[in-house]
Amino acid sequence: MNYRRIILVSTIVIFGISSFAYGNVRSDAESMKNEGNELFRDGDIDGAIERFRAAIEIDSTYAFAYNNLGIVLYEKGDFNGAVEELEKAVALDSTYAKAYNNLGNVCFASGEYERARQSYARSIELQPHSALKQSNLGNALYALGDFDGAIESYKKSISMNKNSAEVYKNLGAALQKNGNMEGARTNYIKATKLNSQYVEAYINLGTLHYDVGSGNVKKAIEYYNKALNIEPENVLARYNLGLAYLVNNKITQTLVELIKALELSPDDADIHYAIGLTLAANRSYRKAVESYEKALAIDPDYSNAQKALVIAQNEINR
């Protein structure tokens, strides 16, 4: 049986709006930029874009305006436009650490992890003593599968700021990927001590104990339930809890949790597939076929569901 057991890594995306004067920029360009900053803080994205563009029109070498325009375009959902403006900012000022970090954030959000890594690394090169930037670099390295590099970056971040539950949780995830289960557990626990309501850390603790082996499934169930006590409608916690019950052959409890998860996320092929496996384990093959077919209707290339469907159909025809 193949299940999805997800380790959660989250990003702390903080953009840096520039609000101070830059060199000999004309006062009217700076005034436009400052008006844009105020509009952005007030939630008027379109108004902010207009002002930042006006600042650039007045002074096309104003790197701060390009940086701020990139940020608001990102907030508007225009990732390509954001990258274009932020690249202009760093082209105008190759020492603009904040713009490199912002460029990394946009590239990371759009799945361009190598570009994000390069941008974060350059930002750190310019401003080495930043816990946030080290954490961002760790996230990019994690996404690229460089778990050793991610661990190093997360540890550097923690050495500068020991109060970020998010970074401890992400360090735990990287350690878990590297097979260091005890190190992962220690850091997840640190995350929950810093933030007792940290749902993702509890889910990761559950997944850690699930992956260690069947002898730890009871502990996994405990952590998934902790997550659900905080956030009852967390789909992943419900789904993983269902899988943990299935390992213990508790069919009824498995179905209860998976059906709750499905109610929250009806178009999730993995949940339909897991329900099918549970029904098949209970020899309810016809209902299992229905679940596999629903999974395949959502994802026709779902190979595990395809194989399970054939097995269930064969059982019916025996």
pLDDT tens for each residue of 253-268: 999 999 999 999 999 9
Can you tell me whether residue 5 is helix, strand or coil?
A: coil
- How would DSSP label each residue in 22-50? -TT--HHHHHHHHHHHHHHHTT-HHHHHH
Tens of pLDDT, residue by residue over 260-312, are 999 999 999 999 999 999 999 999 999 999 999 999 999 999 999 999 999 99
pLDDT confidence tier of residue 146, bands split at 50, 70 and 90:
very high
> Which residues neighbour 244 within 8 Å (Cβ) at sequence distance 6 or greater?
206, 210, 217, 220, 221, 224
Residue type, 145: G
Q: What is the mean pLDDT of residues 125-129?
A: 95
Q: What is the pLDDT of residue 29?
A: 83
At 243, give phi and psi (nearest 5°): -65, -35
Predicted pLDDT at 23: 47
**Phi, psi angle pair for 180, to nearest 5°:** -90, 80
| The CATH number of domain 1-127, selected from 1.10.1060.10, 1.25.40.10, 1.10.3720.10, 3.40.980.10 | 1.25.40.10
Contact 278, 270 (CB under 8 A): no
Residue 199: the pLDDT is 97
- Taking residues 133-138, report their average pLDDT: 97
Question: Which single residue is written with the structure tokens 């202009």?
Answer: 88
Task: Give pLDDT, residue 206.
Answer: 96
pLDDT of residue 212: 74
Residue 269 Rama label (left phi>0; alpha psi -120 to 50; beta): alpha
Task: Please report the pLDDT score of residue 25 as a whole number.
Answer: 43
Q: What is the pLDDT of residues 204-230, one digit of tens each?
A: 999 999 887 656 899 999 999 999 999
Please compute, for residue 5, the number of CA atoms within 13 A of its CA located in the half-sphere on the CB side. Answer: 25
Report whether pLDDT(6) > 70: no
Model confidence band, residue 15 (pLDDT cutoffs 50, 70, 90): low
| Structure-model confidence comparison of residues 190 and 11, the more confident one | 190
Count CB-CB contacts under 10 A for residue 103: 28
Domain extents in the chain: 1-127
pTM: 0.85
